[in-house]
Amino acid sequence: MNAHDILLGRLDATALPWHELLLADTRLEVISGIVGLSAAIIAVAGALLVATALTWRRLWGPLWRDWLTSVDHKKIGIMYMVLACVMLARAVVEAGVMRLQQALGSGGGGIVTPDHFGQLFSTHGTIMIFFVAMPFLTGLINFVMPLQIGARDVSFPLLNSVSLGLTAAGAVLVMVSLVLQPFSTGGWSGYPPFTDASFNPGAGPDYWIWAVTLSSLGSTLTGINFTVTIYKERCEGMHMMRMPMFCWTSLCTAILMIFAMPPLTVATGLLALDRYLGFHIFTNDGGGNVMMFANLFWLFGHPEVYILILPAFGVWNEVFSTFSGKGLFGYRALVMATMCIAVLSFTVWVHHFFTMGQSTELNAIFGIATMAIGIPTGVKIYDWMLTMYRGRVRITVPMVYGVGFLFLFVLGGTTGVILANPSIDYQVHNTLFLVAHFHNMVIPGTLFGMIAGYTLWFPKAFGFRLNDCWGYRAAGLWIVGFLLAFFPLYILGLMGMPRRMVAYFEGAWLPWTLVALTGAALIVLALLCLAVQLVVSLRNRAELAVPVGDPWDGRSLEWALPAPVPEWNFPALLVVEGRDAFMELKMKGDHLDRPRDGFIDISMPRPSCVGPVVGAAGLIAGFGLTWHIWWLTVVSLTVIVAAMVARSFVRETHRTVPAAEVEARWNAWRTLADASPRIRRRDEQRQANRGHAFPAAREGGE
Amino acid sequence: MIRTLCRPPVSIMVSGLMMLSGCRLNMGFLSPSGPVAEAQRMHLWIVCGLMLLVVIPIFITIPFLLWRYRYRDGKNNAAYRPEWEASWKWEVMLWSGPLIVTAVLSWFLWTYTKALDPYRALSDDPLQVQVVSYDWKWLFIYPDMGLASVDHLVLPAGRAVTLSLTSRTVMQSILIPELAGQIYLMNGMTTRLNLQADHPGEWMGRNTQYNGDGFYRQSFRVEALDATAFAQWTERAANTPPLDAAALAALENKGMRDDLPALFSQVPQHLFHEIAGGRGHDHSGEK
C-alpha cells in the first residue's frame, strides 16, 4: 500500500470530470464528455457563486447563527424546502437531457453515451425521491404542523436539525458525484447483482448507497420526531379528531417513515457488506439471493410512495376547503381513508415484481390489495369534490394546481389499477407505461401538492404573497408540460418500449419521444416561471405584504398568527374548542386573544452546531467510504460521536425570551391589524389584501 | 380456458374502434399474435371499460362544480352551505361505489391471473426451449433436438412452447409483447414462461431490465414458422458448429453477438441444468 492509496484511497485522476473527454474516441463520446464536464462546471461555479455572494455581503455569520445552527422548526422547514428546490433544478435539467437523448437516439447516436445515460436516470430518480420530494414534504410538515396543533416547536428540536444535516449530507454527496465521477448506473432502486462488486466494482454504486443511507437515517429520525410531536405537543383542546387534516396526513406519513425507512437502511447496509467485506447476501454466487433485495427494497419502496403522496393529500385538503370557502367535507371519512391507505401501503410491495416467478395466488392477492387502496383514495377525491359542492370556489393559483391534480391523478389512478392486474403487468412492467404511471402520481400528486403548499404558506413564512400572474403561468405550463411529456410514454409503453433505453431502432417510437421532449421543454419553462415569480414577488414585497397573517381566509391556527410568525409561535399556550379553531373565532368577528393570564417569559431552545457538524461529518464519512479513504471515514465518524458526547455536557440548552419582548411584538401586530381593513374575497389577489380577512362564509349575510 | 377469456367479437370491436380513432398501435400486445397476449389485451380492455365508469362521471362533474359554484362576489345564485361538512347518505355512496368497482375488478383479476399463469403449459406436449441470458445476448437451447441459437428464437407456429429461463449474469427480463408477458431471468434459478404463436410471423423480443451499456441493443428476433419450414430449419441447423467450451466462453464475454455464429448443434445434454444450477424456482402452480 503506497502513500496515495492510504491518503486518497482509490480516488485518482480518472475521477475528474474531464476524464471521459480525454478518453473519447467517437463524436458521441466527445459530446457526452462535454455534457458531463459542463454539468460539473455548473455545479462548481454555482457553489463558488453562492460562496462569493455570501462573502461579499458578509452573510456567513448570519447564515451560520440564524439559519444553519437554528433549531426553530420553521427555519428548518424552510431550509429543507430550499434544499429541495436546488435539487429539483438539477433533476429537472437531467430529465430534459434524457428526453433530448431519447428524441435524438432513434437509430443510435444522440448526445450521451449509454454509461452516461445510466448515470442520468440513476441520479434523476435518486434525487427526485430522496432529495426533492422527501425534503420538500418534510420541510412543509416541519413548518406547518407545529403551528396547526398550537405547539411551540417539535418535540426534539435538535434532532430535527440533525435530520436536516443528514438529508443535506446525502444531497451534497450526490452533487459531489457530478465533479468526482461516476455515479451508479443501477437506477434509483439499485438492484443487485448489477450493483454488486463483481459487476460494478467502481465508486458509482457506493455513492448511491451512502447518499441513500444518509437520507434514510435522516427520515427515520424525522418520522420519530413528527409522530411524538403530534402525540405529545398538541395544545389544550386539540383532540386528535380536531386536528386539521394536514396534521392527520403528517401523522400517517411520520408513522410510515418509522416503519418503512429501516428496511431501506438495512437493504443498503447489507449491499454495502456485499461490496466492502465480500459478504454473499445478494450476490449471484456463494448462496446470495437477489430476490431478498427486491423484497427489502420494496418493503420500503411501496410505503415510500404513500409517504410522498399523503402530505400532498394534506395540502389538497387545506386548498380545497380554504378556496371553496367551506369546511372540509367528510372529515371523519378522510381520517379513516388516510389511515386505511397508510396500513394498506404495507401490504402491496410484491406488485413491484409480479414477474419474478412467484405463484399466481400470491400475485393475485397482492394485486387485489393494490386495487383496494383505490377505494380510500377514491373516497378522498369524492370528498374534495363535495367540498367544492355548494361552496364558493376561487380559482387561485393553488386551486389551478388542485384542479389539475384532480383530473390527472384520477387518470394516474386508472393506470395504477391497470398495473395492479398481474396479467397486464406482465406486459407493461419495466416499460415506459410504468414510468408514465409513477410520474403521473408523483408530479400531479406530490409535486403539484408541494408547489400549491408553497404558494399557500409562503406568505405565512415571509410575510408577503407570491405574484399571482407568474404563478398562473407556471401552473399552466406544469399541467400542459406534464400532459405532453408523459402521456406519450403510456403509448410507448403499450408499444413495448422498455424504460431506460439510451437509443432504439424502432421508427414508430420516434414521434412520441418528440412530443415528450416538447413537454419536457415546457416543464423547464414552468420551473423558470417559478424562479421569476420568486424574484418578482421579492421585488414587490411591499405591495404583496400580508403582515396581519391571514391572506386566504384560512381556517386553522397558523393563520391566526402574524406573518412572518415570531420564533415562539404562540405568545401563550392555547385552548381550542373545536375543529377549524381560527374560523370559529373569525365568524364571531374575533381574533386570537391576548393571553388570559398576561404575557410570561418564554423558554426557547438555543441554536446548536450539532446538526450541521453531524451533517458535515456524515457527508465526509460517506465520501471516505465511497472512495475507500479509511482514515477520513474513521475521523469523521469519530467527530459524530464526539459531537453527541460533547452535546450531553452542554447545560445552557435554552434561552429565555422576556415577556416584555413578546408583549411588544404582540401589541405592534394588533395595532397593525386594527389599522388594516378586513377585506372580502374579491380583493384577495389585490394590494388591498394585508392579510386581514373577512370570512367568505359571512359575505352573503352582510 | 385462455381462449374463452378473449371473446373475439368484443376484441375485434375494440380494435376496430381504435383503428377508427386513428390511434393505431400495430406493435406490442395491442396487436397480439398469440393466445396469451390476446387474453392480456382483453383483460386490459375490461379494466379500461370498468374504470371509465368511474372516470367519466368525475370528469364531467368537476367542471360543473367549478362553474356552478364559482366565486362571483355575491352574484352567484347557486346554493352556498359553508357549514355542510358531513352526510351519512353521501358517505355510504362514496365508499360503496369504489368498493363495488374494485370487487368486480378483483373478480376479473383473479380469473385472468390464474388463467394466464406464465408457468402453466398451453398444451400437453409443448415444445421445450431453454433460454440463457448473457450480457447482452440470448442463447436459446432446443434440448430435444440438440440445437441452440443466439439472438434468434425460432418457433413452430400453432404449437405451444415452454421456455425455461435462467441468467448467466445479472437479473434480466424477457419480453415478446406480441406473444406473452415478461418474466425475470435470474442466475442460479430457473423461471418459466409459456407462450404460443398463432401464425407464422416475425417479432422482436427484448430484455426490459437494465443491465449496462449494451442493454438497449439486447433484442432478439422471434420467428414463427409453419411445420414444414420449421422442419427445414432444424435440418439446416443440424449442420452448424458445435456449442463447445470455446463458444460458451465467447458468450460469456460482455458484448453483442458480433461474429459469433447464430446457430449451433451438438448441444451438451444437460447444459442448461449445469448453467442454471440445482435451484429451481417453481411455484406450486399446476404443471
For residue B97, give the chain A residue with the closest CA: A375
Mean pLDDT throughout B53-82? 93
Q: Which of B48, B216, B219 has the most A C-beta neighbours within 10 Å, making it the best mutation to test the interface with A? A: B216
Name residues 163-192 of chain A within 8 A of B (Cβ). Answer: 185-187, 191
> What pLDDT is recorded for position B286?
42
> What pLDDT is recorded for position B20?
46
Say whether both B138 and B271 belong to one domain: yes
Q: Is A202 on the interface with B (CB under 8 A)?
A: no
Name residues 442-501 of chain A within 8 A of B (Cβ). Answer: 491, 494-496, 498-501
Contact A364 B110 (CB under 8 A): yes
Domain-located, residue B281: no
Q: Do the Cβ atoms of A167 and A211 come closer than 8 Å?
A: no
> What pLDDT is recorded for position B22?
46
Domain-located, residue B231: yes
How many Å apart are CA A71 and CA A225, to the nearest integer? 13
CA–CA–CA angle A231, A256, B104 (5° rounding): 120
Say whether both B270 and B182 belong to one domain: yes
> What pLDDT is recorded for position B154?
97
Measured in angstroms, the CA of A360 and the nearest CA of chain B are apart by: 6
Instruction: Give the pLDDT band of residue B277 (cuts 50, 70, 90).
Output: confident
Q: Is B20 helix (H, G, I), strand (E, B) or coil?
A: helix
Task: For residue B170, give the nearest of A199, A329, A403 by CB distance.
Answer: A199
Say whether both B163 and B209 belong to one domain: yes
The rounded mean pLDDT for chain B is 90
Task: For residue A193, give the nearest of B82, B170, B285 by CB distance.
Answer: B170
Instruction: Give the pLDDT band of residue B267 (cuts 50, 70, 90).
Output: very high
Q: Is B65 on the interface with A (CB under 8 A)?
A: yes
Residue found by looking up cell 446548536 in the block: A608
Give the pTM.
0.95
Say whether both B264 and B133 belong to one domain: yes
Say whether both B142 and B242 belong to one domain: yes
Domain-located, residue B286: no
The count of residues in chain B is 287
CA A23 to chain centre: 38
Contact list in A for residue B59 (CB cut-off 8 A) is: 407, 410
Domain-located, residue B287: no
Low-confidence ranges of chain A (pLDDT < 50): 702
As to burial, measured by CB atoms within 10 angstroms (0-12 exposed, 13-18 middle, 19+ buried), residue A654 is: exposed
Say whether both B105 and B157 belong to one domain: no
> Of all helices (H) and strands (E), which one includes residue A106?
none
How many Å apart are CA A174 and CA A94, to the nearest integer? 13
B236: CATH: 2.60.40.420
Total domains in chain B come to 2
Say whether both B144 and B243 belong to one domain: yes
Instruction: Give the pLDDT band of residue B284 (cuts 50, 70, 90).
Output: very low
How many Å apart are CA A354 and CA A357, to the nearest integer? 7
Domain-located, residue B82: yes
Residue found by looking up cell 440548552 in the block: A653
Looking at the predicted structure, is the pLDDT value of residue B23 above 60?
A: no
Say whether both B151 and B44 belong to one domain: no
Contact A395 B66 (CB under 8 A): yes
Contact B208 A114 (CB under 8 A): no
How many Å apart are CA A595 and CA A597, to the nearest integer? 6
Helix A360-372 crosses helix B88-115 at what angle (to 10 degrees)?
160
Domain-located, residue B284: no
Instruction: Give the pLDDT band of residue B285 (cuts 50, 70, 90).
Output: very low
- In degrees and rounded to multiples of 5, residue A459 shows phi and psi of -60, -35
Looking at the predicted structure, is the pLDDT value of residue B21 above 90?
A: no
CA–CA–CA angle B141, B147, B153 (5° rounding): 55
Task: For residue A360, give the nearest of B59, B90, B285 by CB distance.
Answer: B285
Q: Which residues are bridge partners to B225 per DSSP?
A: B156
Say whether both B86 and B204 belong to one domain: no
Say whether both B232 and B272 belong to one domain: yes
Instruction: Give the pLDDT band of residue B17 (cuts 50, 70, 90).
Output: low
Domain-located, residue B121: no
Say whether both B132 and B88 belong to one domain: no
Q: Is B240 on the interface with A (CB under 8 A)?
A: no
> What pLDDT is recorded for position B260?
87
Cell numbers at residue B221, please? 428476433
Name residues 379-438 of chain A within 8 A of B (Cβ). Answer: 379, 381-383, 385-386, 388-395, 403, 406-407, 410-411, 414, 417-418, 420-427, 429-431
Domain-located, residue B283: no
How many Å apart are CA A162 and CA B165, to the nearest integer? 48
Helix A397-420 crosses helix A374-388 at what angle (to 10 degrees)?
150
Say whether both B132 and B105 belong to one domain: no
Q: Picking from A610-619, B51-60, B75-84, B206-215, which range would have the lowest pLDDT averaged per residue?
A: B75-84
Q: Domain range spanning residue B111?
A: 2-70+77-115
Instruction: Give the pLDDT band of residue B258 (cuts 50, 70, 90).
Output: confident
Task: For residue B43, give the nearest of A191, A424, A491 by CB distance.
Answer: A424
